[in-house]
Amino acid sequence: MKTEVKICGLTKPEDIDAALAAGADWIGFVFFAKSPRSLSVARAAELASPARGRVGIVALTVDAQDDLIEEIARDLKPDFIQLHGSETPERATEIRSRFGLRALKALGIGERADLDRASLYAGHVERLLLDARPPKGATRPGGNGASFDWRLLEDFAPGMPWFLSGGLNGDNIGAALAATRASAVDVSSGVERAPGEKDPAEIARFVAAVRAHDARRGDAKDARPAAKAAPVAAA
């Protein structure tokens, strides 16, 4: 099965071109003033135009007020709104109902107990995103280039699709996928040359590494039945 890839925090036309050329499945735009990747809704809508219908579009917000969400829904028309703050399950449902948006809730993970929150959002959002819990003093809830202990995800089954995020890059994504068996991944700082400055070569390398993992996984699945059948054939 193909692993979905989301490239988040895009700010320039060349970022969009790179994500599309690499074969990403999702692109994300950030609407949070404290992020070096933040941009206006009008600019995001302009950037998203050539990608619409080719990849999914995600709008990342952090405890956003209704006027911003309304502007996003009206002008960007994203496939998902990513709730990356302290939004409650009830707030997520309100946003979905009032603005007609599908919701993706980000959870900060630092210990196994943090995963227990996932069940609270069942029926309130369509997807989850698991990011590293931000360090003390951080001004942003995500995009800090930090990962969490992937072993915490052993037997994690929230009953809805989820993205793995947090400190991923072209060097560690293969190990991350092997450890977590995530069906979707999200990257931002891991494909940048500087905060907010995407590197097209790193975007391509990241997606290629994901596809290489998919190919290895497919080869392994294909090999298992053949290995079981070998003794019968030898007989």
Output the CA torsion sign for 99, 102, 106, 111: positive
From 17, 66, 75, 131, the catalytic residue: 131
| For residue 186, pLDDT beyond 60 | yes
| For residue 206, pLDDT beyond 90 | yes
Strand 197-198 to strand 192-194: parallel, antiparallel, or no bridges (unpaired)? antiparallel
Name the pLDDT band for 134 (thresholds 50, 70, 90): confident
Mean pLDDT of 125-135: 91
From 8, 15, 25, 186, the catalytic residue: 8
Please answer whether residues 29 and 13 qualify as being in contact, where contact means their C-beta atoms are separated by less than 8 angstroms.
no
Please answer whether residues 190 and 196 qualify as being in contact, where contact means their C-beta atoms are separated by less than 8 angstroms.
no
| For residue 143, pLDDT beyond 70 | no
Which tens digits make up the pLDDT trace of 4-24? 999 999 999 999 999 999 999
Element holding 209 (H helix, E strand)? helix 200-234
Mean pLDDT of 200-225: 85
Q: What is the mean pLDDT of the chain?
A: 91
Asked which of 26-30, 114-118, 133-137 is least confident by mean pLDDT, the reply is 133-137
The DSSP secondary structure of 126-186, one letter per residue, reads: SEEEEEEPPPTT-SSSS-SS----GGGGTT---SS-EEE-SS--TTTHHHHHHHH--SEEE
131 catalytically annotated: yes
Name the pLDDT band for 111 (thresholds 50, 70, 90): very high
| For residue 59, pLDDT beyond 90 | yes
